[in-house]
Chains A and B, each alone.
Chain A
Amino acid sequence: MEQVLGNISLLFEFPVVNLKIIVDGVMVGALFALAAYGLALVWGVMNVKNLAQGDFVIAGGYVSWWLAGKGMPPLFGVPIAFIVLWGIGWVIYKLVITRVIERDLFTSLLATFGLAIMIAQILNLLFGSDTQSIQLEYDTLYFFDGFVDIPIAKLLGVLMAAVLATCVVIFMKTSRMGQAIRATAQDARAARVLGIDTEKVYAFTFSLNAAICGAAGAIIVMVWVIQPFYGIAYSIRAFVIVTAAGLGNLPGVISAGLGIGALEQYGAHIFGIGYQQAVAVLLLLLVLLVRLIQQRRMRQSLQ
């Protein structure tokens, strides 16, 4: 308890510590937001709640890490992970997801939970359970007498995440396929009547989601570490963000992602690093409760 109070008073005595926490949180949050955007896409378009989201991220990270070990420049890992995970996402869609779209939601949740276990275990068997990362040889920038440090690698990662997100948004807004995806999300039946091949749209959306996650993972492996069983952490955070922000609300997803990154860093600072995961999960419960109370006021339930 004294430890906690001490950590809190530290925040007030040295305001610059706040800045460091927020900068760190925003950098983590940008990548959470990316995975969450993919989840919101799949959730909104085909009503599948993908619990394997985080495992796609980790799989993308391993693709990039494995290629970097073979001597490829690490930055190329991002597009390659994007393409490889696109293929994996397509295969998973054809084998599993296509059969759960029409079913009740618990089915998709459980099926993707099974997939999450499979992906994590296959990665574990292929690459071992050690944590892995790619070391980039860039400098670190220091501000405020070294209180705030920003490694250029992390800055680069956030920049790539932003570029990727922008590309996806432009694609969704302007391209023919993006229009079809949005139409299917609004009303799948009407879209079918108007001649949109919704099956193709679903396959495309799910592959795109896997690809976004893969690229996010390739960024993460350059700036943090990955491990086969870290997937669930990203899945939980993606769920927190999407539940908080709602579907089809891109600014909401981004701000919720950055906010959760920052809140989690605050939690880790105040309570100790061991509580970081707990803080993320408790945030999920808090968000669910707040949404629940809002709905209860209108005598509705969250479904």
Chain B
Amino acid sequence: MNARQITLYTVLLAATLVAPFLFPDFRTQLATLWLMIIVALTWDMTGGQMGYNSLGNIFFYGTGMYVAAVIAIGLVYDVGEYTDAAGGGRFDFTDAQYFTGMLLGTIGAGIFCSMTAVVIGYLTFGLRGPYFAIGTLGVAIAAGELVSNWDWVGGGQGIALPVYPGDFDVGKLVFYYLFAGIGVVLFVFLKWLYSTRFGAAINAIRDDEAKAEAMGLHTLRYKLTTWAMAAFFVGMVGAISAFQLIHFEPLESAYQTINLGIFMVVCVLLGGKGTLWGPIVGAVLFHVFKEVTWNYLLGWQWVALGALIVITVVYFQDGLMGWLMHRKPEWFGIRVEEKTAGADR
């Protein structure tokens, strides 16, 4: 890492830390931005680096929400009674109970989601290309439908978690730093992971799975590990979102297949898949676009969003980073031999 990169990362880290104080009105927005960055980065682990385009990663987000809520409530009260009351009864949480619930819930959600990723992955990783996408989308939709019929966790009404104890604005700050912390850890982890043999192995799976297998890679094991790691992070941000949202229900906020579930894919495509910075740049661009259209397009925002998806996919599939890489390969340390380039023509 040279001096210029160190300066860049220091500036970015400082910006992350001071951002909520510079824009105090946008704390929730900034937290959501980090959420988008995290889900985009984790989607890129399988979608971009490994070539398995999942449309069902939202399953881990929703499952993380529910697991965290069940743990946080279950530590103190009976979950069935709590959801039965639907806000009618009095259920008090002390500060200590709230924070232990949040901590254990978040970690538990991450672990539970990685385990489900292994199980689902074992069943679905035989599917290739579009079938994998449809299969995982099916898993997410089915989970949403089943949970909305499951009365123990509140059915279609969802669950209302306790409110953050203490000052409301401090709460927003806490949630911002939780998301940002997980995001930074994830970024550092991925930067290291993609430089190891493991990163090379999952890239080999993307480029030609049959050859990778012939070279002696145990592809299924690599695929399961990658998805389990992605699911761990998605489950944890899902858990934090549950505490941030306070009230959530299965179809619109937990297993929101057509909202966040597709946004993460668009973020990655917009930024450029298979790169480390692509998902981050894409998530920032997408989030800004979304907020602007949400504010100024009154009702037509969804149509604009659909149009953005179609245009990105059809006309701009390499994304921003892919485009840059094509135009300025030297920025990425790719050397183009003039002679070979000429010989192609």
A residues with CB within 8 A of B: 49, 96, 99-100, 103-111, 113-118, 121-122, 124-125, 232, 236, 239, 243, 272, 274-275, 277-278, 281-282, 284-285, 288-289, 292, 295-296, 301-303
Distance in angstroms from A291 CB to nearest chain B CB is: 8
Among candidates B126, B134, B303, B315, residue contacting A99 with C-beta atoms closer than 8 Å: B315
Q: Is the interface of A mostly helix, strand, loop or mixed?
A: helix
- 17 A-B pairs with CB atoms under 8 Å apart are A100-B313, A105-B129, A106-B53, A107-B317, A109-B130, A110-B262, A110-B269, A110-B313, A111-B310, A116-B306, A121-B300, A239-B134, A274-B149, A278-B145, A288-B124, A302-B126, A303-B127
Q: A111-B310, A114-B309 are in contact. Are A303 and B134 (CB under 8 A)?
A: no
Which one, B133, B269, B305, contacts A109 given CB within 8 A?
A: B133
Docked Cα-Cα span, A272 to B148, in Å, equals 13
Point out the residue from B129, B134, B299 that lies within 8 Å of A104, measured CB to CB: B129
B interface residues, tally (CB under 8 Å): 39
Q: A57 to B150: give the CA distance in the assembly, Å.
A: 31
Q: A292 contacts which of B126, B138, B145 (Cβ < 8 Å)?
A: B126
State A188–B209 Cα separation when bound (angstroms).
27
B258 interface hit (Cβ, 8 Å)? yes
Q: Is the CB of A277 within 8 A of B138?
A: no
Contact among A118, A282, A285, A296 for B306, CB-based, below 8 A: A118
CA distance A115 to B310 in the complex (A): 7
Interface residues of B in 35-94 (CB under 8 A from A): 53, 55
Q: How many A-B residue pairs have CB under 8 A?
A: 118
Bound together, the chains give a CA A289 to CA B302 distance in angstroms of: 34
Of the residues B138, B258, B262, contact of A285 by C-beta under 8 Å: B138
Q: B residues within 8 Å of A by Cβ?
A: 53, 55, 123-124, 126-131, 133-135, 138-139, 141-142, 145-146, 148-149, 258, 262, 265, 269, 299-300, 302-303, 305-310, 313-315, 317
- Residue from the set B123, B148, B308, B313 with the largest chain A CB neighbour count within 10 Å: B313
Q: A104-B129, A285-B138, A289-B123 are in contact. Are A110 and B265 (CB under 8 A)?
A: yes
B300 to chain A, nearest CB (A): 7
Across-interface contacts of A285 in B (CB, < 8 A): 135, 138-139, 142
Q: Is B127 touching A288 in the complex (CB atoms < 8 A)?
A: yes
Contacts of B265 in A (CB 8 A): 110
Per a CB cutoff under 8 Å, which of A103, A301, A303 touches B317? A103
Specify which chain B residues have a CB less than 8 angstroms from the CB of A121 in the assembled complex.
300, 302-303, 306
Considering the chains assembled together, what is the distance between the CA atoms of A232 and B144 in angstroms? Answer: 14
A275 touches B131 (CB 8 A): no
Q: Contacts of B133 on A, CB cut-off 8 Å? A: 106, 109
A208 to B305, CA, bound (A): 27
Residue from A109, A124, A239, A296 with most neighbouring chain B CB atoms (10 Å): A109
The reply to whether B307 and A118 form a contact with Cβ atoms under 8 Å apart is yes
